[in-house]
């Protein structure tokens, strides 16, 4: 493979890692954000946390892979982007730390400290989602720092929170039963509306602040090929709302559907953003060929990735299969 195709392959891999991360860690961050809504006086919160117990660690690894691929394949973009994101990244990392360890500490700490670790878990999840959304917003406006951009970034932050809560609630609906599952249905409907508002807002603002993006989405006939993306996305929102309105969604035969449509919504939103900026990796500044590492380095890691990534996907599926079914009987030892 040559210096032209390698960066394309790697940006594809990185996109895959980001997307898988957003879906997988999205639902477990979402569960963290929803935690305060869980009934404090029953075992509801324990069950919420148990539902993500065996998965969160591997989910977070996709973030390491995504930033790792950025670093491996596009070192120049890596320094450029992280330079702009210095403070939000620090906030996100500290939030991730608190959240990750709270998970273990809460199960092992003295009863007196458990509520403290619960708080770390909630705020850690919320802060992680907010900082990721904020960074997404800043990225879209091309790292501009005026009031309008900041406002947009803040909106994007809440949008990402809503999106994570949406998929988190869908996850709970899939993995739990009884009272908690019914609650999750309500949470999913609520979060879905916020998420839809967020998606609409970002989709409208993005072409307005960005001339290139505007052309991409409104130039004919290319724009026609991309038209199904927003249409499908909104159709999925509507489909989900219809599902969630009806109690039959709680049945085992249906409970996975909202989760799947949420994941598809993530996929479509992500491809929309990717289409807006490709082939730029730092919007308006660096494209993937300018930012790429040497071909011999990319080739070396590609050989490994071709063998290993399918294995990772396989054993990830295996792990989900092992822990299939409702989460209430999950025991920690």
Partner 1 sequence: MDALDLSRIQFALNISFHILFPSITIALCWILFYFKLRFNLSGQQVWMRAYRFWVKIFALSFALGVVSGITMSFQFGTNWPGFMETVGNIAGPLLGYEVLTAFFLEATFLGIMLFGFNRVPNAVHTLATLIVAVGTTLSAFWILALNSWMQTPAGHEIRDGVVYAKDWMEIIFNPSFPYRFTHMLIASGLTASFFVAGISAYRLLKGDKKHAPRLALKTAVMAAAILTPLQIYVGDAHGLNSFEHQPAKIAAVEAVWHTEQGAPLLLFALPNEKEKRNDYAVSVPKMASLILTHDSNGTILGLNEFEGLHPPVMATFWSFRIMVGVGLLMLALSWIGALLILRKRHFPRWLLKAYVAATFSGWLATLAGWYVSEVGRQPWLVTGILKTKDAVTTVPSAHIALSLTAYALVYVVLLAAYLHTLRLMARRAVDVEEYEQQDISPQPASGSRLQAPGSKHALAHASNKNQTKLMNTAKTELN
User: Any contact of residue 4 with partner 1 (CB under 8 A)?
Assistant: no
Rounded Cα distance, 331 and 28, in Å: 18
| Smallest distance from partner 1 to CB 31, Å | 16
Asked if residues 51 and 172 have their Cβ atoms less than 8 Å apart, the reply is yes
Residue among 127 and 184 whose Cβ is closer to partner 1: 127
Q: Which of 4, 5, 42, 90 binds partner 1 (CB under 8 A)?
A: 90
User: Any contact of residue 85 with partner 1 (CB under 8 A)?
Assistant: yes
Altogether, the residues listed in the chain come to a count of: 333
Phi and psi angles of residue 305, each rounded to the nearest 5 degrees, phi first? -60, -40
Cβ neighbors of 223 (< 8 A, separation 6 or more) are 216, 217
| Smallest distance from partner 1 to CB 87, Å | 6
Q: Which of 39, 43, 104, 252 binds partner 1 (CB under 8 A)?
A: 104
Site for partner 1 in 39-78 (CB under 8 A): 53-55, 57-58, 60-61, 63-65, 67-73, 75-76, 78
Residue among 85 and 277 whose Cβ is closer to partner 1: 85
What letter would DSSP give residue 294? Answer: -
Q: Which of 110, 147, 204, 224 binds partner 1 (CB under 8 A)?
A: 110
Token pair belonging to 265:
């919504």
Nearest of 7, 10, 64, 58 to residue 306 by alpha carbon: 10
Q: Which of 147, 220, 225, 333 binds partner 1 (CB under 8 A)?
A: 333
Q: Which of 114, 150, 271, 316 binds partner 1 (CB under 8 A)?
A: 316
Phi and psi angles of residue 280, each rounded to the nearest 5 degrees, phi first? -75, 140
Q: For residue 280, what is the enclosing H or E element?
A: strand 280-282
Token pair belonging to 99:
């959240």
User: Any contact of residue 111 with partner 1 (CB under 8 A)?
Assistant: no
User: Any contact of residue 135 with partner 1 (CB under 8 A)?
Assistant: no
User: Any contact of residue 94 with partner 1 (CB under 8 A)?
Assistant: yes
Rounded Cα distance, 269 and 19, in Å: 10
Rounded Cα distance, 260 and 257, in Å: 5
Rounded Cα distance, 241 and 57, in Å: 30
Q: Which among 175-183, 197-205, 253-261, 314-322 is the span making contact with partner 1, rule CB under 8 A? A: 314-322
Q: Which residues bind partner 1 (CB under 8 A)?
A: 53-55, 57-58, 60-61, 63-65, 67-73, 75-76, 78-79, 81-83, 85-87, 89-90, 93-94, 96-98, 100-101, 103-105, 108-110, 293-294, 296-297, 300-301, 304-305, 308-309, 312, 315-316, 319, 322-323, 330-333
């Amino acid at each position: 493979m040559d210096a032209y195709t390698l960066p394309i392959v790697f940006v594809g891999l990185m996109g895959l890692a980001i997307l898988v991360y957003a879906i997988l860690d999205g639902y477990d961050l979402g569960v963290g954000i929803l935690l305060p809504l869980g009934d404090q006086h029953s075992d509801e919160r324990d069950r919420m946390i148990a539902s993500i117990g065996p998965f969160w660690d591997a989910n977070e690894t996709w973030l390491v892979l995504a930033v790792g691929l950025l670093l491996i394949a596009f070192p120049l973009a890596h320094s450029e982007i992280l330079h702009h994101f210095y403070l939000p990244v620090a906030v996100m990392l500290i939030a991730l730390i608190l959240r990750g360890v709270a998970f273990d500490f809460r199960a092992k700490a003295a009863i007196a400290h458990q509520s403290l670790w619960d708080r770390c878990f909630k705020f850690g999840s919320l802060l992680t989602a907010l900082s990721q959304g904020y960074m997404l917003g800043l990225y879209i406006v091309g790292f501009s720092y005026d009031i309008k951009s900041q406002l947009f970034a803040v909106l994007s932050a809440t949008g990402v929170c809503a999106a994570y809560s949406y998929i988190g609630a869908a996850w709970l609906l899939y993995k739990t039963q009884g009272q908690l599952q019914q609650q999750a249905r309500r949470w999913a409907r609520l979060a879905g509306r916020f998420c839809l508002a967020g998606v609409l807002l970002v989709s409208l603002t993005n072409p307005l602040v960005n001339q290139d993006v505007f052309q991409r989405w409104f130039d004919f006939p290319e724009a026609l090929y991309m038209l199904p993306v927003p249409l499908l996305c909104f159709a999925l929102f509507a489909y989900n709302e219809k599902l969630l309105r009806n109690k039959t969604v709680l049945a085992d035969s249906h409970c996975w559907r909202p989760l799947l449509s949420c994941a598809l919504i993530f996929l479509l939103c992500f491809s929309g953003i990717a289409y807006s900026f490709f082939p730029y990796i730092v919007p308006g500044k660096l494209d993937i060929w300018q930012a790429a590492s040497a071909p011999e380095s990319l080739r070396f890691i590609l050989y490994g990735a071709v063998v290993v990534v399918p294995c990772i996907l396989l054993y990830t599926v295996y792990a989900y299969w092992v822990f299939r079914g409702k989460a209430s009987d999950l025991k920690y030892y």
